[in-house]
Amino acid sequence: MVDMNFVSRTLWTGDNLDILRGMNSETVDLMYLDPPFNSNRTYSAPVGSRAAGAAFKDTWTLSDLDVAWMGLIADEEPAIANLLNTSSLTHGKGMQSYLTMMAVRLLEMRRVLKPTGSIYLHCDPTASHYLKILMDAIWGQGNFRNELVWHFPDNFQGNVKRFANNHNIIFFYAAAPFTFNHVRIPLDKPRKRGGRIWSKELGKVVPERGPDGKPVYRTYYDKKADDVWTIGQSSVTNPQSKERVGYPTQKPLALLERIIEASSNEGDMVLDPFCGCATACVAAENLGRQWVGIDLSEKAVELVNIRLADTMGSLFHNRLVTARTDIPRRTDIDSPKNYRKNKHVLYGQQEGRCGGCRTGFEFRHMEVDHIIPQARGGTDHVENLQLLCGHCNRIKGVRPQEYLAARLHEMGVAI
Ligand SMILES: C[S@@+](CC[C@H](N)C(=O)[O-])C[C@H]1O[C@@H](n2cnc3c(N)ncnc32)[C@H](O)[C@@H]1O
Ligand SMILES: [Zn+2]
């Protein structure tokens, strides 16, 4: 039995890093994420549209927090740390900062995805080349399945001195065994082709023959979808379209439905940690899947309610969707009754040094601290505990470890 500490049809408002950290491990079958692309823009919805008020930042600068994250990643994932450093040499600190933001979240997603699950990362050429390497490092290069090209020929860019940018990239990773249902799409015009059948004796596909021994011709109206998906954008950009809610960067339902159909079965759990106006959630609902969405913007909750009411008509009533802003508490790890009992173990592990400033202290001067604060979903488990000297513990307070590291860095303490 999967031990889930959240229910289907939950929309969380908040930073997905905090919320992912609070979700039990191996609880999700399919993840789709469409994060900001590092496009150096701030998106906002047109005034008067249903999504007015929604805005999110898509520019990144290397802050103290990133410096601290880099330190944490360097310890545990040296390949990723190298990639992050390289990106700053070729693309500058903005790219490094963006990829660091993504890396810490993808590592948490890896824990939450079931071993049989699939993940789809939606991005564009601004950062797709780095994101692919990051995904290889996190999910294993052998688990890479497809680079999907979402082509939207109905996007007009006016007089630009280059070819129009009319595609996005979606990376698909899954470790075997995973669910995969071939999706069939209509052909532009029907095609007549010699039939083919599977021959048991020969163990291969052979031309199909009629009773008279002559080849059989069949008319085909559809084919298996390949890795280039032409799906127009007008359903989400045309002001006349019923589907359009006016949320910046809204994606077509048809795109999400294809992903969900291919990589999940009815009843499976779908998570979109950057859900925007909750397109993935609505698509999952339409296809009978369970779903959870997370977004920083409160608009997501409002819009998904409107969208589901539109889709489900009289069957819908507001209480169907659980809106949460709290951070879930993991229930899949046993919490020792008294976490302070771990003080001796930690003192040994840390060889008597403070987890912040790294200075050696006597046992009695050390204090037990939650690395991820309890208020942010951190547990009493020994893996989330450390010893700090009184000074470092005072600086950190109930804030996360990155904060302490950033402050110590600021103060010139080598860590
Ligand atoms: C490209 S949009 C997603 C659009 C979505 N696919 C749709 O169809 O509406 C990216 C979203 O990520 C959200 N976001 C950015 N950083 C976030 C974070 N740390 N936690 C949760 N959401 C975040 C933004 O508010 C924005 O809605
Ligand atoms: Zn200290």
Q: How confident is the model at residue 40, as a pLDDT?
A: 57
Ligand 1: which atom is nearest the Cα of residue 272? 6
pLDDT for res 118:
98
pLDDT at res. 55: 54
Q: pLDDT tens digit string along 83-112?
A: 998 998 998 888 888 898 899 899 999 999
Can you give the pLDDT at residue 255? 98
Q: Which protein residue has the closest C-alpha to ligand 1 atom 3?
A: 276
Q: How far is CA 332 from CA 15, 118, 141, in A?
A: 22, 21, 29
**What is the tens place of the pLDDT at every residue in 5-31?**
999 999 999 999 889 999 999 999 999
Cα 87 from Cα 324, distance rounded (Å): 36
- Listed by start position, the domains of the chain span 10-182+225-324, 186-224, 339-410
pLDDT band at 74 (very low <50, low <70, confident <90, very high): confident
Q: Which amino acid is at 102?
A: M
Show the CA angle centred on residue 120, arms to residues 162 and 147, nearest 5°.
45
Q: What is the pLDDT of residue 93?
A: 82
Ligand 1: residues with CB < 6 A are 15-16, 34-36, 56, 247, 249-251, 274, 276-277, 279, 294-297
Q: 344 or 132, which is more confident?
A: 132
Angle (nearest 5°) at CA 146 between 143 and 148: 150
Strands (E), 126-209: 144-151, 167-174, 184-194, 196-199, 204-207
How far apart are alpha carbons 137 and 139 in whole angstroms? 6
Distance 51 CA to ligand 1 centre (A): 13
The pLDDT assigned to 39 comes to: 57
Q: Which helix (H) or strand (E) is 363 found in, with range? A: none
- Average pLDDT for residues 209-221, to the nearest whole number? 91
Other Cβ atoms less than 10 A from the Cβ of 380: the count is 18
Ligand sitting nearest the alpha carbon of 390: 2
* 333 vs 5: CA distance, rounded Å: 12
CA of 276 to the centre of ligand 1 (A): 5
Q: 59 C-alpha to center of ligand 2: Å?
A: 33
Cα–Cα distance for residue pair 239/245, rounded to 1 Å: 9
HSE-up (13 A, CA, CB side) for residue 301: 17
Is residue 314 very low, low, confident or very high in pLDDT (cuts 50, 70, 90)?
Answer: low
Longest alpha-carbon distance in the chain: 93
Q: Which helix (H) or strand (E) holds 351?
A: none
Residue 385 · residue 401 · CB < 8 Å: no
Task: For residue range 137-187, list pLDDT tens digits in order.
Answer: 999 999 999 999 999 999 888 888 999 999 999 999 999 899 999 999 999
Give me ligand 2 centre to Cα 365, in Å.
10
Q: Please state the three-class secondary structure of 121-148 as a single string.
A: EEECCCCHHHHHHHHHHHHCHHHEEEEE
Gap from CA of 249 to ligand 1 centroid (Å): 9
Residue in 275, 282, 319, 270 with CA at minimum distance from that of residue 297? 275
Q: Please tell me the distance between residue 58's alpha carbon and the centre of ligand 1 in angstroms.
A: 10
* Residue 204 pLDDT > 80: yes
Q: What are phi and psi of 102, to 5 degrees?
A: -70, -40
**pLDDT over 70, % of the chain:** 89
42-69 residue pLDDT tens: 555 555 555 555 555 555 566 656 666 7
pTM: 0.81
Cα dihedral 58, 407, 15, 8, rounded to 10, equals: 150
Query: Residue 393 has what pLDDT?
Result: 94
Residue 261 Cα to ligand 1 midpoint, Å, equals: 22
Residue 342 has pLDDT above 90, yes or no: no
The DSSP result for 278-321, as a single string, is: THHHHHHHHTT-EEEEEESSTHHHHHHHHHHHHHHGGG--GGGS
Q: Is the pLDDT of residue 394 over 80?
A: yes
d(CA 33, CA 35): 6
| Torsion from C-alpha of 262, 263, 269, 275, nearest 10 degrees | -80
How far is residue 351's CA from residue 388's CA, in Å, rounded to a whole number?
12
Residues 252-307: tens digit of each pLDDT: 999 999 999 999 999 999 999 999 999 999 999 999 999 999 999 888 888 888 88
Grouping H, G, I as helix, E, B as strand and the rest as coil, residue 108 is helix
Residue from 295, 297, 298 to probe ligand 1 pocket by mutation (most atoms less than 8 Å from CB): 295
How far apart CA 104 and CA 111 sit, in angstroms, is 11
Q: Whose CA is nearest to atom 7 of ligand 1?
A: 250
Closest CA to 112 of 7, 13, 33, 22: 22
Average pLDDT value over all residues in the chain: 88
Fold of 339-410: DNA Binding (I), subunit A (1.10.30)
Give pLDDT, residue 260. Answer: 98
Predicted confidence at residue 64, as pLDDT, reads 58
Please give the structure tokens belonging to residue 181. 């249902």
Which of 250, 271, 291, 296 to mutate for ligand 1's pocket (most ligand atoms within 8 Å of CB)?
A: 296
Rounded-to-integer distance, Cα 272 and Cα 182, Å: 22
CATH class of this structure's domain 10-182+225-324 = alpha beta
Distance of CA 151 to the CA centre of its chain: 21
Span 174-203, pLDDT tens digits: 998 999 999 999 998 999 988 888 999 999
Calpha distance 133→343 (Å, rounded)? 39
Higher-pLDDT residue of 92 and 117 is 117
pLDDT at 58: 56
Q: For position 357, what pLDDT does the model report?
A: 94
Determine the atom of ligand 1 nearest the C-alpha atom of 15. 20
| pLDDT for 3 | 86
Q: How large is the average pLDDT for residues 227-237?
A: 95
From 21, 56, 150, 258, mutation site for ligand 1 pocket: most ligand atoms within 8 A of C-beta: 56
pLDDT at residue 246, as a whole number: 85
Q: How far apart are CA 39 and CA 56, in angstroms?
A: 12
Place of tokens 């008597």: 352
